[in-house]
Structures are given as C-alpha cells and as structure tokens.
Amino acid sequence: MIDHTLELSPDTAQALIQMADRITDLAYMLDKTFHLAYTDPISGAPNMLAVQYKLELTITEATRTNRPMSIFLADGDNLRRYNESDFLAGDRAILHLYQALKVALRSQDFVGRWRMGDEFLIILPDTDLSQAILLAERVRAVVQHSLRTLPQPITISVGVATFPDHGRSISALLSGAERSLKRAKQNGKNRIALPDP
C-alpha cells in the first residue's frame, strides 16, 4: 500500500499559511472595494453605477421574456430646507428617505440613489403600468406617513415609466420618468405622475 500522506517541512507549512492569509486578505479587500464602488456613501444605498447595471439587467430580461417592468424616479420634496440648516442634516434626510423607500417596496424591487441630489431610482421587475401606479401611490403614502415626525416632514414626488408602454430602451424609460417627475413637481409635489400620453 502506498502512503499518499504529504509531509511538509516547517518552512513550507509556514509559507502555505502565509499564502492563505494573503489570499483571505485579498478577498476581503476586493469585497470592500466592490462595496465602495457600488454604494452611495451618504445613504448606504446602491449608487448610480449599481442602479445602471441593475437597470440594464432588468430591461434585458423584460425584453427577452416579453414581460413588463417599470421604474420610478422619486425625488424628495423641499429637502433643500435641510441643507440650508446644515449639510449633515441634509445627509440625514437622504438616509431617512432611503430607509422609508426600502420599507415601502416589495422584496423583488430595487432602489438606489440617482445622481447626487435628492433622487432615487426604483426598478420594478415584472410590473405593468396599473401595478406601478398602485405601488407608486403606496410608496408615496408610506414616505409621507413614516417621515411626518421629522423636524421638517419629508414627502416625495414620483415619476413613473413602464416598459414597453413608455419605451423599450433605458434612455426612453429614464426620459419618461424624468418628464413624469417634472409634471408631479409642477402640479404641487407629494404626488405621482405619468409621462405625457
């Protein structure tokens, strides 16, 4: 019978242990770098880069399966009041808003910070226009209710766009959501709106 047991010298064993430690450290650093690259530092939400990646995946899947999907562009109403007080208060307001949005959404939905202002983009897989309208109203109401006790209550305006109703490309959907959001703001804020027919 052949003995397949590998006997290592103490130096070789020590070198293997050091190599394993370095691999573990490298894996930790890669994970940390990935997290930093895709996370908004203020809210802890996925950042614009992460949102764009998720949006590409979701619209590709909707196109492949011929299923609907929707997006919301949600903007905090009058959050400038917090920044006028101090920027730390503005940062806390963004964090509160992100937390309220997460609570209001379904488990399959994705929310991330959009650009660097008060906007969040919400991606709703397998969601048609009628479902999106109901969900947008629910999200708006949850934010209004849950953030009403802040020193300056926070509400949101929401622009809705749906694939394929308002476009079949990312740029068309984003354009539709931006137009919708603009309409919601112009019509008095704290409301949802759809793109022009």
Per-residue pLDDT tens for 106-154? 999 999 999 878 899 999 999 999 999 999 999 999 999 999 999 899 9
Please give the pLDDT value at position 30.
54
Q: Name the fold adopted by 48-193.
A: Alpha-Beta Plaits (3.30.70)
- Residue ranges per structural domain of the chain: 9-38, 48-193
Q: Which residues of the chain have pLDDT under 50?
A: none
Residue 184: exposed, middle, or buried by beta-carbon count in 10 A (0-12, 13-18, 19+)?
buried
Count CB-CB contacts under 10 A for residue 158: 27
What's the predicted TM-score (pTM) here?
0.82
Within 13 Å of residue 65, how many CA atoms lie on the same side as its CB? 13
Please give the pLDDT value at position 108.
96
